[in-house]
Amino acid sequence: MTLSLAGCCGRTGMVGAIVSSSSPAVAARCARARARVGAACSQNITDPTLGPALLDRIAAGASAADALAAVTAATPLAAYRQLTVVDAFGRSAAFSGERTLGRHADVSAPGCAAAGNLLADAAVPAAMAEAFAADPAADLGDRLVAALTAGRDAGGEEGPVHSAGMLVCDAVAWAVTDLRVDWTEGDPVAELGELWARWQPLAADYVARALDPGSAPSYGVPGDQ
């Protein structure tokens, strides 16, 4: 059981992905993003190599749709996979193989692609895409969290959800946001939102520390990284 959305901010060029699942540590296996390239999710019976393969093709010049077509054509077990991808131009694509589990759906729209399997309602990915598009001026992280929350509120998955995660990439080579709830008996979507609220005010400062430590702010926390 998995929900995901890969998204791009047309205003800032940031890219990111957000995902939730019944299984542990879903973001470690399913979500990928690369600065100035795009974002992708690989789910259902997950092949973690497919997200990087999609981003490699986009980095080489393919659109999201062309990258998806090439990767699925070259994947012998594509029937078992579900993929979402968006490139840095906001072009998106989604794929659900014929052996995707249970009630499933996917949607691609300008700036994002969403998908889910073993869903309580087939309209869940569309609700996620609609929420992502609702406020294009908002921070990409806010939009991703809003999308996952909307998916949950539209019915989400058939059974209990235990993990969630979010990646956001900007102009630097590393992910400027990499947040994960790897296992909880509570609501991982809500917990991820709380982590984002704590992290968001600090994210730019951690980039500044990496690029120019002398001018970066210090919080006076012993052992602070």
Q: State how far the Cα of 52 lies from the Cα of 79, in Å rounded to an integer.
A: 19
Looking at residue 180, its pLDDT comes to: 98
Looking at residue 195, its pLDDT comes to: 98
Looking at residue 213, its pLDDT comes to: 87
pTM of the complete model beyond 0.85: yes
Q: Give 49's DSSP letter.
A: T
Looking at residue 218, its pLDDT comes to: 64
CB 82 within 8 A of CB 104: yes
Strand residues in the chain grouped as ranges (E) = 2-8, 15-21, 31-34, 38-44, 81-87, 92-96, 105-109, 112-117, 163-169, 175-181
Upper half-sphere CA count for residue 163 (Cβ side, 13 Å): 18
Q: State how far the Cα of 212 lies from the Cα of 58, in Å rounded to an integer.
A: 31
Looking at residue 88, its pLDDT comes to: 97
Q: Give CATH for domain 2-215.
A: 3.60.20.10
pLDDT averaged per 10 residues in sequence order, the chain, 225 residues: 95 98 96 98 96 98 98 97 98 98 97 97 97 98 98 94 98 97 98 98 92 72 47
- For residue 144, which of 106, 114, 108 has the smallest C-alpha distance? 114
Looking at residue 38, its pLDDT comes to: 98
